[in-house]
Amino acid sequence: MELHGVGVGRGIAIGPILRMPDPLPEPVAGPHAGDPAAEYARVDKSLAVVAEELAAKGAKAGGEAQAVLEAASMMAQDPTLTDDVKARIESGTSGERAVFEAFASFQEQLTAMGGYLAERASDLADVSQRIIAHLRGVPAPGVPTSDAPFILVAPDLAPADTALLELDKVLALITRDGGPTSHTAILARSKSIVAIVGVTGALDLTDGTVVIADAATGVIATDPTPAAIAAAEARIAGRAAATKAPITDGVLADGTTIPLLANLGAPKDAEAAVALGAEGVGLLRTEFLFLDSPTAPTVAEQARQYIDLLQHFPGKKVVVRALDAGADKPLSFLNDAHEENPALGMRGLRALRANQQILADQLQALVIAQAATTADLWVMAPMVSDAEETTWFVDYGKKLGLKTVGVMAEVPSLAVVADQVAEVSDFVSIGTNDLTQYTLAADRMLGSVASYQDPWHPAVLRLVKMLGDAGAAAGKPVGVCGEAAADPKLAVVLVGLGCTTLSMAPAALADVRAELRTVTLKEAQARASRALAATTAAGARDSGSS
């Protein structure tokens, strides 16, 4: 039997299933002992303890996991939630039940809002479980322990669980929920854990069942044959050898250079990326400077962080994305107004143009960093729709003193007018996650439509080709900074479609580097042509993979 989901990365694992324990039972509705102040004091202590534990786990985990866990820690002491808990206790509800009801209510609100906020609802559920467990004096539900390695199966994984997995014991993750950009997927990718998410039927797997989890195909094979196990073991050995191979620059078999860059979430991630062979940075997400702050950071505060990052890449390209926030990642000082469909609302460049001082401060800080380092700084705007927006941003950035200014291609309309954009932009960087989402009209945060979130879809590939062709005609570079570049087979097709650089999570660099060396540019173009002619994502994957 085979189960199917969305694979994260290219890894493969063999092992027995072990399921995540069931969550704590729902607290029984009922009154507290009669003293609201004493009951809230007890709950307040648990809130503080859980917040401190999550922050400590984040500090231990580091990297992307730290930001995720710090956000979860903040949830435990969010004033909106704590006020709701207190009000419920004052009305006579027990502490456990008050926590359960308040967090459940907020979860429903986030789920209804969709997009990024809906994905955070599962994180909120984990925080609630931890608080209730502390109130009961029992361990919080979490990853099971085992003396032997296993493949973990769960409805979904909380950030705290994913961040601190014992990598010598957990061979792979299989989850019923989640999409390719859920926290489980993001953290699994950053830690090079084999993972398949959004698997229908995952919870029907029983403990002890041996499976092969193939992230490259998103397929889980149960009770595999000896031949299938031998083939999987050979692939595991091959991947291990590839990761130990000498690090070289990205190059095709015919000598065509394809620089391999890193997607980074903060300056502290730079050193590890360099160690894994990143030739520069294809995407620096600058939201880390803004998301946890009640006010926008100053020019000086931003400049220090940018300089810190750029110093790791002397003489190399570093592409910085202007603040990509808005209704799906609300900031009180940018745009926290409720929108019915935030994925199609005021985000990215749209929000920045409506709050131009925030953009001006960020670009001025980047100009300072540009002058203070030897890195080759490129700056791009997110969520750009057409040539008018491109012209505005490029002109504005250069007026402030930036040398190389470009745009991200995430909205299909930008690809349709790619020739116009290439005339005015210094470069284009394709964000395949959002480009796929908007092309297929499938929210990339929802597991229910995860099957549509496939960058192999011919419609997405045709938009990439339009961008690649326009860049080639104008002599302008066209890169990819979406996670599609982390798929080695798709990376070859992207090169064949005209992409000149590829940027990805650093953990994926070795696999992509090895795959590119197996093909010439002519062969990559032939694979791209076959993929373009397909009628489905699966067909494109099959015809474009060899």
Q: What is the structure's pLDDT at 337?
A: 60
Which residues, 6+ apart, have CB-to-CB distance to 414 below 8 Å?
A: 384, 385, 386, 390, 407, 421, 428, 467
- The CATH class given to the 245-544 domain equals alpha beta
pLDDT band at 510 (very low <50, low <70, confident <90, very high): confident
- The region of weakest confidence among 383-387, 414-418, 486-490, 528-532 is 486-490
Distant-in-sequence, close-in-space partners of 385: CB < 8 Å, separation ≥ 6: 411, 413, 414
Is 191 within 8 Å of 165 (Cβ atoms)? yes
Q: What is the mean pLDDT of residues 492-496?
A: 98
Instruction: Report pTM.
Output: 0.73
Nearest to 79 by CA among 121, 115, 47: 47
Give the start-to-end residue ranges of the domains of the chain: 2-21+142-242, 36-136, 245-544
Closest alpha carbon to 172 in 143, 140, 129, 135: 143
pLDDT tens readout for residues 250-260: 999 999 999 99
Q: What backbone torsions phi and psi does residue 406 show, to the nearest 5 degrees?
A: -145, -165
What is the C-alpha separation between 462 and 469, in angstroms, rounded? 10
The predicted pLDDT at position 327 comes to 45
CA–CA distance, 488 with 491 (Å, rounded to integer): 5
Query: DSSP character for 297?
Result: P
| Distance between CA atoms of residues 494 and 464, nearest Å | 8
Q: Is 314 left (phi over 0), alpha (psi -120 to 50) or beta?
A: beta
pLDDT value of position 63:
67
Asked if 169 and 13 count as a contact pair (C-beta separation under 8 A), the reply is no
pLDDT at 138: 84
Q: Is the pLDDT of residue 447 over 60?
A: no
* 8 Å CB contact between 421 and 394: no
> Each residue of 27-77: pLDDT tens digit?
888 788 778 999 999 999 999 999 998 888 888 777 666 777 787 888 888
| pLDDT of the residue at 265 | 87
CATH of domain 36-136: 1.10.274.10
Which of 105-109, 450-454, 455-459, 542-546 shows the lowest mean pLDDT across its residues? 450-454
Q: Are strands 501-504 and 478-480 parallel, antiparallel or unpaired?
A: parallel
Q: Which residues are catalytic?
A: 183, 481
Q: Can you list the pairs that 144-148 forms with residues at least 24 positions away whose Cβ atoms lie under 8 Å?
A: 144/18, 144/19, 144/20, 144/21, 146/18, 148/16
Q: In 54-100, at which residue ranges do the beta strands (DSSP E only) sit?
A: none
Asked if residue 349 has pLDDT above 90, the reply is yes
What value does the mean pLDDT of the chain take? 88
DSSP 3-state of 238: helix
Task: State yes or no: pLDDT of 459 exceeds 50.
Answer: yes
Please report which confidence band the pLDDT of residue 340 belongs to, taking 50, 70 and 90 as the band edges.
Answer: low
Given the DSSP bridges, would you call strands 317-321 and 281-285 parallel, antiparallel or unpaired? parallel
Q: CA–CA distance from 30 to each of 41, 97, 421 (Å)?
A: 18, 7, 62
Class of domain 2-21+142-242: alpha beta
Q: What is the pLDDT of residues 370-422, one digit of tens each?
A: 999 999 999 999 999 999 999 999 999 999 999 999 999 999 999 999 999 99
Buried b (16+ CB within 10 A) or exposed e, 358-377: bbebbbbbbbbbbeebebbb
Beta bridge partners of 379: 320, 405
Residue 178 vs residue 171, higher pLDDT: 171
Contact present, 515 and 492 (Cβ < 8 Å): yes
Banded model confidence at residue 183, pLDDT cuts 50, 70, 90: low
- Angle at which helices 121-136 and 63-75 pack, to 10 degrees? 70
